[in-house]
């Protein structure tokens, strides 16, 4: 049974249909990529899953049960954690305190200190989050998410601000994290090298609709994906 099932979800904002009958699923232990042009509805999908938005139609099920009756804070307690596209840390707080917030939201068996060692941020734990480089802030968000002992982790553009070499390291890191923490991962990312190297399956959105799905290799060859998103190879 899939751990996450998004079924026929439609979300409208006024006259704009941000998601138009979108369905996809993630099996336990899978890394699933969600790609598409800006404004395609990827972050909206994250916001529906984490219940910041209520869909107009459709259902979202986690571990077989609907999430629609669950509050955003309840979602964390169900075992879903996320990072944000533009980094949403508590800027005035230390790295450690930010990660403690994750553990506080859902106390599992992860200690904030252990998580900080795992993501290699322990030496920065007393630094203020606001002053850190962008890529490092993204890692603090990841640590905060891990500290809430999730089963499903939603990553919104984790490669932002990283150089080529760092993105390659991040890819390896996501895979080992999936194994070490027994996670299922949903990944929104524009860095195609990263998506293609870590994702088991990829779903492609365009104007709120799913236009393709498959293995990374299949999706890369798909004509509609090349036209809507990737552009001419180069």
- Give the residues lining the site for other proteins (CB under 8 A): 13, 36-39, 85-87, 127-128, 131-136, 157, 160-166, 168, 190, 192-193, 229-231
**Shortest separation between residue 85's beta carbon and other proteins, angstroms:** 6
Alpha-helical (H) ranges within 130-191 are: 134-147, 164-180
Q: What's the rounded Cα separation, in Å, for the pair 141 and 153?
A: 11
Q: Quick one: 106 or 125, whose CB is closer to other proteins?
A: 125
**Shortest separation between residue 135's beta carbon and other proteins, angstroms:** 3
Q: Quick one: 101 or 168, whose CB is closer to other proteins?
A: 168
Q: Closest Cα to residue 45, out of 63, 65, 21? A: 21
**Shortest separation between residue 151's beta carbon and other proteins, angstroms:** 27
Q: What's the rounded Cα separation, in Å, for the pair 182 and 85?
A: 23
Q: Quick one: 164 or 223, whose CB is closer to other proteins?
A: 164
Q: Could you give the strand order of the β-sheet that contains 80-82, starting from the edge strand earlier in sequence? A: 80-82, 152-156, 184-188, 31-35, 201-206, 209-214
Q: Quick one: 109 or 165, whose CB is closer to other proteins?
A: 165
First to last CA, the chain: 39
**Shortest separation between residue 166's beta carbon and other proteins, angstroms:** 6
Spell out the residues 6+ positions from residue 225 whose beta carbon is closer than 8 angstroms to its own: 204, 211, 212, 219
Q: Quick one: 65 or 88, whose CB is closer to other proteins?
A: 88
**Shortest separation between residue 114's beta carbon and other proteins, angstroms:** 23
């Amino acid at each position: 049974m899939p751990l996450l099932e998004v079924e026929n979800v439609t979300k409208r904002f006024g006259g704009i249909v941000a998601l138009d009958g979108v369905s996809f699923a993630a099996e336990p232990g899978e890394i699933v990529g969600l790609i598409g042009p800006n404004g395609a509805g990827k972050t909206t999908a994250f916001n529906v899953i984490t219940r910041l938005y209520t869909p107009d139609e459709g259902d979202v099920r986690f571990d077989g049960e609907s999430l629609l009756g669950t509050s955003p804070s309840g979602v964390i307690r169900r075992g879903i954690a996320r990072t944000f596209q533009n980094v949403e840390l508590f800027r005035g707080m230390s790295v450690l305190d930010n990660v403690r917030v994750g553990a506080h939201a859902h106390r599992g068996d992860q200690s904030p200190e252990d998580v900080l060692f795992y993501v290699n941020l322990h030496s920065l734990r007393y630094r203020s989050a606001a002053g850190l480089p962008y890529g490092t802030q993204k890692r603090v968000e990841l640590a905060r998410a891990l500290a809430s002992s999730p089963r499903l982790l939603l990553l919104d553009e984790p490669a932002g601000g990283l150089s080529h070499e760092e993105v390659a390291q991040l890819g390896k890191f996501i895979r080992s994290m999936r194994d070490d923490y027994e996670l299922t991962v949903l990944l929104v990312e524009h860095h195609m090298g990263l998506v293609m190297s870590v994702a088991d399956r990829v779903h492609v959105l365009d104007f709120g609709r799913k236009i393709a799905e498959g293995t990374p290799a299949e999706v890369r060859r798909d004509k509609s994906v090349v036209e809507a998103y990737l552009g001419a190879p180069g």
